[in-house]
Amino acid sequence: MHPILIRNNVKILGEGSQVIVFAHGFGCAQSSWKFITDAFLKDYKVILFDYVGSGDSDLSQYDQRKYATLEGYACDVIDIIEALDLKNIIFVGHSVSSMIGMIAALQMPEAFKKLVFIGPSPRYLNDRDYIGGFNIGDIETIFDHIADDYVAWSKQLAPVVMNNPLKPELADFLQECFEATDPSVALAFAMATFKADYRDELKNLSVPSLTLQSSNDMMAPLSAGEFIHKNTPENFLVVMKATGHFPHISEPEETIREIKDFIEDISLKSALDHLYVSQ
């Protein structure tokens, strides 16, 4: 097996020829996609992986300097694309992986067909007229909490970001994901995430993209999704009924439907069908 596939614990599933890559967000691993991947196995070749330092990746390959920025994580994505010789891929990124996917697509646009951003943010820090949802004091407090007691912080965070009080088991699942991540890796990933600013890069993206924005998402407010939509060529914005930052866990059916509508051009097909019928 290729060493990259071992390093990133890459799994290849499904019966289709069109490749779809699912990239997990902060504090998670490929297991976070388990609520939606079955819906894609019949028609797609599904690629799952863990960033180095997450899930069942090879922790011995973790490089503090490399993963101090999101470009380091984008290198993982590009390495996997090259190791498997992937072309024309659909990339689905959750949270920070939205911008990681964009970085990879800016570097290798020929490898990407479409991008799906779930709960994305080009910058988490507020900046003059831009509302990212956090001020510098908020972010420093997050870093302090992770450094002091990551497990306690994750227990407090999970139900808030899941925002699904009627299904407490989902917050429990998310908390388990968080706790499986090494605290020092989590802190470095948090720093790379919250210090990032990719607002100026959005205009350079040539690959069509979809922004899936949850309702009432404390990590990625609507203002962040709207900024991406307004500043990115060929970006489509859908505000979901799902609440919280993890719609692929809390509302998998809605998430599956919106992803498929975009990647299969359902709305275009239905419009053409309607046109044909009306004639």
The Cα–Cα gap between 55 and 26 comes to 11
The Cα–Cα gap between 116 and 26 comes to 17
Active-site residue flag, 95:
yes
- The single residue of 214, 217, 248, 250 carrying the catalytic annotation is 217
- The single residue of 95, 97, 98, 214 carrying the catalytic annotation is 95
Active-site residue flag, 245:
yes
**Which of 68, 95, 66, 60 has its CA nearest to residue 78?**
66
The Cα–Cα gap between 179 and 207 comes to 35
Catalytic residue numbers, as ranges: 95, 217, 245
